[in-house]
Amino acid sequence: MQWHDTGSFGMIFVIVLVAFILFNIYRAETKKKELYIRRIPGLNAIDDAIGRATEMGKPVLMVPGIGGLNAISVQALNIFAQVSKAAAQFGTPIRLCVADAAVFTVAQEVIRDVYQQQGLSEKFDPDSVRFVTDRQFAFAAGVSGLILREKVAAAFFLGEFFAESLIFAETANSIGAIQVAGSTEKSQTPFFIAACDYVLIGDEFYAASAYLTRQPILVGSLVGQDWCKILIAACVLFGFMVNSYQRTQTTSLQRMPWSEAEPEAWAQLTPEEQGNFEAVEVMKDTGTPTLVKKENTGLYRVFNPMRDRESLTVTREKKAVVAPLGGGE
Amino acid sequence: MTPEKPTFFEKIQNVDKRILYLILIVLTTIPLFPMFSSIVLPNEPAPHSQAFYYQLMSVPEGKTVFIQSDWTLSTRGENAGHIESLLRTVMSKKLKFAIYTVADPQAPGVYRKYIQSVNAERKRAGMKEYKQWEDYVDLSYFPNAEGTLNAIGSDVRKIFNKRVKDPASGKDRLVFESPVLKDVVKVGDVGLYVVITASNSFDRTVERLSDKTKVVVMCTGVIGPSTLPFFQSGQIKGASIGLKGAVDVEYMMKYGLNYPDSTGKIKVPWSGKEELKADPVVEGMTIARGSLYFMSFHAAIALLILAVTVGNIGMFMARRKKA
Amino acid sequence: MDFLAQVDPRVNFWATQPGSVEMWLKILVGLVISAGAIFALIKMPTRGRRPVVMAFTFLCGLFYVLLWIWPSPLNRKPDEIARSPAEGVSFLLADTLPIVATITNILVAILLGLGVYSLIRLHGGRIIKRHADRGFSVVLLVSMLTITVFGYLDWGMRTFGDKEGKLLDIANWGFVNLGADLLFDGLLQQMDSAMFSMIAFFILSAAYRAFRIRSVESTVLMASALILMVSLLSAVVVVWNGNVTNLAAAMNVPLANPSIGEAGALNFLKISNIASWVTSFLQTPALRAVDFGIGLGALAMGLRLWLGLEKGGVSV
């Protein structure tokens, strides 16, 4: 028997996380003193990388991954806008290769705006932003060819990468380019770490735009994320302590589906009723004390409340039956 | 002043990578020759592979399985073994299946090829072929993964609202009139939901469907570790990871799980879960593509370990000599 | 006009009886609103576009947020009426979800076509402007056209011209079918596989170059990597674990499960158990922690985009 329906706990928790983020955005906008962000080596290296490319007279390569126009690509383009700003100031040529037509359109606008805002519109080369192809390995082949032909001095791989990540990283490494990489795909992080000079791990990628621009909204959002992480860590610790204690206790009560606990009563239901009540669970006394299982702990029940028959009994009026559509051919 | 000639240890820590590539090519190619192809290496299936096989073999006969096949031929080294062993098991258990993809427009062409090849294999062995409409339906490609998976969780009949050809009448009919899907009202009615993928499409599936149906994953080795947090928490019920995962499944198809052979010996024990048994697959091929590639896999990993070891030995000895 | 009707006989806000007045009214209103919106967007001044984009983004995001927050209908049958306005909203959201999913599928499919259009525009422009590398652009466009033509012809033959399914047998293939197979399976898929297999070589050279013991952290990294790589070699694992079992027997240590030869107290020496421990207690918690971080980053980014707080790369 579940006395209180805790099924909304997960949703309320997420709303609290959202509130933390929004509160800190407000806090950053209104506070006079800048909020602190720790040093991220990969992002500090951007200016060095561009300086090196300028000395060598070679271009800077930027690749925002192969995903479509989503939050990750937008974030990558935000970072590349900062890189392009520095490159424009030094007069370093850039190459931005994209694998999605929608991202290509946005990237062209972003980079053109960067040059315009620096007062260097005439220096913007439309060919510097290239749509190669939207096929993964054709894109990998195209970008690798560009790296080898143009001998890029600095390469930035930031965004949604999959199997082609190592192809880019090793090819750029083979010509001695300095590389800064970061992917939200944690499976690709080890490949970048093996082949690249600087790697943004996990949500350092999302922190990058806040770090580079120091816009209050972005910094506040980052601090809000940190509050969320602290809350999650506290929940993990609390859950670990509570569960560790409870799992060492013994009980003869087991939580199980009604169909297993009372098969005779279940068999007497109509198929429609069985369909309605298949989520019903009861606590059955097995008579044999055993260690408390995961499904019987209080915390499990918070996220997976037991449903009883009453809560799943729903009576609604029916509307007039609609005649089935004929053929459709 | 002439530069010093590099010592032996300095040479071995800077071996030309073309030499390494050549050795890799030779070592991975030799085991593929016919004289080696019949060698079956002994194996200990991983716990997540055992859980995967148990879930697959627990599906009652006649139930429908949903297969979300999100891979293309670039990862066929791993995923081809996955889909072949899955189809062989599903067909031998006489389960029905609905197959589709939410990831890549090339994927439908790929899975159709493998359904045809497994069917041809069954025909050659005198077994019943699987026919569209009666035994399986091909629902093809859905471009937007998030929206489609949300809709599958909410109203599967609405999102799979399409027509396929009924060979008996020659007309296009609603898929939910077919024997494959007529008993599926919601996604929880399927016996199992299998995701075969080389990308993070299983993430999206787990987010939206893991609380509505039993989800198992067959994925490449690179993204395999990403499935393990979900396996640990019970959000996915089993995972066949990489080429090793394909070999594990083939091995259990041959020897069962906690299943005693004719001498009473259990070849694949599942430690701590001795009460959970799964039979071997009785008809069709079991040891196949995965096991064929397994020796090459061993050779590649062994070369990797050797290269790393040699590089470190060279580094240490060169440092000692300089000191 | 049956082809305009919803195939599912359920009638709701998004569906109606075929040929009814309601259906024609909904089509007319939809067309008028769409035409008006397109005209208004064309005529809108540039500075008005951002608020429109923000409003649209907010409304579309609001649908999914409401879908998540609002309670979903319980045990709903197709012909039932909502008991209250709140349940009515949940019915509407549940009915709308497949429609929205279909619309997003169509939009994403259009984006596939946008990729083709972009390629044609880009490379066509290079050919017309007599760019230095226009030869490669010619090759690209000719290849694209060829595979498209063969693909469509093959699909047409199979869908409309082959009722008996004869083309499933390769012996019945003609020039078009062989051509489509050669271009797709023979060329495109094999080139994809070849590019992917290059990764094996790159992993070897990257590992050989990067896995050097230079610090405590790199030692730990190397050790765990070696354990996990060895645990993938089943031939080695079986021999190693067998030796542990034999050692246990020789030392008279009780076997935990004699029927399967589990080595009891010495189980921790088995390479598969060591690898399993490293995976379960080191790797998986770390991945979960990274997942939390990435998830929160995506949540924050999504919030900023939804609420229009994201200024984009323009304000540098």
By DSSP bridging, strand B96-101 and strand B64-70 are parallel
Q: Which residue has the tokens 């702990």?
A: A297
- Same domain (yes/no): C182, C237: no
Distance, CA of A256 to CA of A283 (rounded, Å): 6
Q: How does residue A84 score in pLDDT terms, banded at 50, 70 and 90?
A: very high
Give φ, ψ of A125 to 5 degrees: -100, 110
Instruction: Give residue-wise pLDDT tens across range A295-329.
Output: 888 888 888 888 888 888 888 888 765 555 444 33
Q: Which domains does chain B have, with CATH numbers?
A: 43-286 (3.40.50)
- Same domain (yes/no): C191, C254: no
Distance, CA of A251 to CA of A291 (rounded, Å): 6
Average pLDDT over residues B191-219: 94
Q: What pLDDT, on a 0 to 100 scale, did the predictor assign at position C7? A: 46
Q: Which residues of B touch A188 (CB under 8 A)?
A: 222
Between C132 and B196, the more confident residue is B196
Q: Which residues of C touch B266 (CB under 8 A)?
A: 259-260
Instruction: Give residue-wise pLDDT tens across range B89-98.
Output: 999 999 999 9
Q: Do C204 and B303 count as a contact with CB atoms less than 8 A apart?
A: yes
Query: Residue C29 falls within a domain, yes or no?
Result: no
Q: What pLDDT, on a 0 to 100 scale, did the predictor assign at position B2? A: 59
**How many angstroms separate the first and last alpha carbons of chain A?**
52
Mind telling me how many Å the CA of C152 is from chain B's nearest CA? 13
Residue C73's identity, in one-letter code, is P
What are the residue ranges of helices labelled H in chain B? 8-12, 17-29, 34-37, 47-57, 76-92, 107-124, 145-154, 156-159, 201-209, 224-233, 242-255, 289-322
Any chain C CB within 8 A of the CB of A221?
Answer: yes
Q: What pLDDT, on a 0 to 100 scale, did the predictor assign at position B121? A: 92
Mutate to test the interface with A, among C17, C195, C228, C229 (most CBs of A within 10 A): C195
B132 pairs with which residues across the strands? B136
Identify the architecture of domain A39-214 in CATH. 3-Layer(aba) Sandwich (3.40)
Q: Are A284 and A258 in contact (CB under 8 A)?
A: no
Mind telling me how many Å the CA of C166 is from chain A's nearest CA? 25
B129 pairs with which residues across the strands? none
Residue A85, number of CB atoms within 10 A of its CB: 20
Query: Residue C216 falls within a domain, yes or no?
Result: no
Q: Which of C66-80, C198-212, C242-256 has the lowest mean pLDDT?
A: C66-80
N residues, chain C: 316
Q: How does residue A68 score in pLDDT terms, banded at 50, 70 and 90?
A: confident
Residue C130 has pLDDT above 80, yes or no: yes
User: What is the extent of the structural domain holding C179?
Assistant: 133-197
Q: Which chains touch A (3 or more CB pairs under 8 A)?
A: B, C
B193 pairs with which residues across the strands? B66, B215
Mind telling me how many Å the CA of C64 is from chain B's nearest CA? 10
Q: Between the CA atoms of C94, C98, C101 and C106, what dihedral angle is there, to the nearest 10 degrees?
A: -150
Q: What pLDDT, on a 0 to 100 scale, did the predictor assign at position B1? A: 57
Distance, CA of C135 to CA of C123 (rounded, Å): 10
Q: Is residue C86 classed exposed, middle or buried when 0-12, 13-18 and 19+ CB atoms within 10 A define those classes?
A: exposed
Q: What pLDDT, on a 0 to 100 scale, did the predictor assign at position A40? A: 84
Q: Name the C residues in 254-293 with CB < 8 Å from any A CB.
A: 287, 290-293
Instruction: Give residue-wise pLDDT tens across range A165-207.
Output: 999 999 999 999 999 999 888 889 999 998 899 999 888 888 8
Instruction: Give residue-wise pLDDT tens across range A119-176.
Output: 988 888 888 999 998 888 999 999 999 999 999 999 999 999 988 899 999 999 999 9
Residue B150 has pLDDT above 70, yes or no: yes
- Same domain (yes/no): C242, C191: no
Residue A115 has pLDDT above 70, yes or no: yes
Q: How does residue C300 score in pLDDT terms, banded at 50, 70 and 90?
A: very high
Q: Is residue A178 classed exposed, middle or buried when 0-12, 13-18 and 19+ CB atoms within 10 A define those classes?
A: buried
Mutate to test the interface with C, among A21, A62, A78, A309 (most CBs of C within 10 A): A78
Q: What pLDDT, on a 0 to 100 scale, did the predictor assign at position C311? A: 66
Give φ, ψ of B196 to 5 degrees: -110, 115
Q: Which of A134, A186, A328 sits opposite C115 (nearest CB)?
A: A134
Residue C159, number of CB atoms within 10 A of its CB: 10
Q: Are A327 and C2 in contact (CB under 8 A)?
A: yes
CA closest to B164 among chain C residues: C159
Q: Which of A305-319, B294-308, C196-210, C232-246 has the lowest mean pLDDT?
A: A305-319
- Same domain (yes/no): C186, C252: no
Any chain C CB within 8 A of the CB of A11?
Answer: yes
Q: What pLDDT, on a 0 to 100 scale, did the predictor assign at position A329? A: 35
Q: Are A73 and A100 in contact (CB under 8 A)?
A: yes
Q: Are A158 and A208 in contact (CB under 8 A)?
A: yes
Q: Which of A256-260, A322-326, C201-205 has the lowest mean pLDDT?
A: A322-326
**Portion of chain B with pLDDT greater than 90, in percent:** 61
Residue C316 has pLDDT above 70, yes or no: no
By DSSP bridging, strand B64-70 and strand B192-197 are parallel
Q: Are C205 and A170 in contact (CB under 8 A)?
A: yes
Element (H, E) at B240: strand B238-241
Q: What pLDDT, on a 0 to 100 scale, did the predictor assign at position C313? A: 45
Q: What pLDDT, on a 0 to 100 scale, did the predictor assign at position A326? A: 46
Average pLDDT over residues B95-120: 93
Mean pLDDT of chain B: 90
Q: Do C105 and B158 count as a contact with CB atoms less than 8 A apart?
A: no
Mind telling me how many Å the CA of B186 is from chain A's nearest CA? 11
Q: What pLDDT, on a 0 to 100 scale, did the predictor assign at position C315? A: 35
Long-range contacts from C8-15, C-beta under 8 angstroms, 24+ separation: C8/B157, C8/B158, C8/B161, C9/A322, C9/A323, C9/A324, C9/A325, C9/C78, C10/A322, C10/C78, C10/C79, C11/A322, C12/C91, C12/C92, C12/C95, C13/C92, C13/C95, C13/C96, C14/C95, C14/C96, C14/C99
Q: Are B225 and C287 in contact (CB under 8 A)?
A: yes
Q: Do B199 and A162 count as a contact with CB atoms less than 8 A apart?
A: yes
Residue contacts between B and C (CB atoms, under 8 Å) = 166
Q: What pLDDT, on a 0 to 100 scale, did the predictor assign at position C226? A: 92
Whole-model pTM: value is 0.89
Q: What pLDDT, on a 0 to 100 scale, did the predictor assign at position C10? A: 57
Mean pLDDT of chain C: 86
Q: Do A229 and C304 count as a contact with CB atoms less than 8 A apart?
A: no
Query: Residue C75 falls within a domain, yes or no?
Result: no
Instruction: Give residue-wise pLDDT tens across range B2-50.
Output: 567 777 777 888 888 899 999 999 999 999 898 887 788 889 999 999 9
SS3 content of chain A, % helix, strand, coil (to 5): 55, 15, 30
Q: Which residues of B touch C169 (CB under 8 A)?
A: none
Q: What pLDDT, on a 0 to 100 scale, did the predictor assign at position B266? A: 87
Q: Which residues of B touch C291 (CB under 8 A)?
A: 229
Three-class HEC string of chain C = CHHHCCCCCCCCCCCCCCCCHHHHHHHHHHHHHHHHHHHHHHHCCHHHHHHHHHHHHHHHHHHHHHHHHCCCCCCCCCCECCCCHHHHHHHHHHHHHHHHHHHHHHHHHHHHHHHHHHHHHHHHHHHHCCCCCHHHHHHHHHHHHHHHHHHHHHHHHHHHCCCCCHHHCHHHCCHHHHHHHHHHHHHHHHHHHHHHHHHHHHHHHHHHHHCCCCCHHHHHHHHHHHHHHHHHCHHHHHHHHHHHHHHHHHCCCCCCEHHHCECHHHHHHCHHHHHHHHHHHHHHHHHHHHHHHHHHHHHHHHHHHHCCCCCHHHCC
Number of domain units in chain C: 2
**Portion of chain A with pLDDT greater than 90, in percent:** 42
Q: What pLDDT, on a 0 to 100 scale, did the predictor assign at position A3? A: 58
Mutate to test the interface with A, among C198, C282, C311 (most CBs of A within 10 A): C198
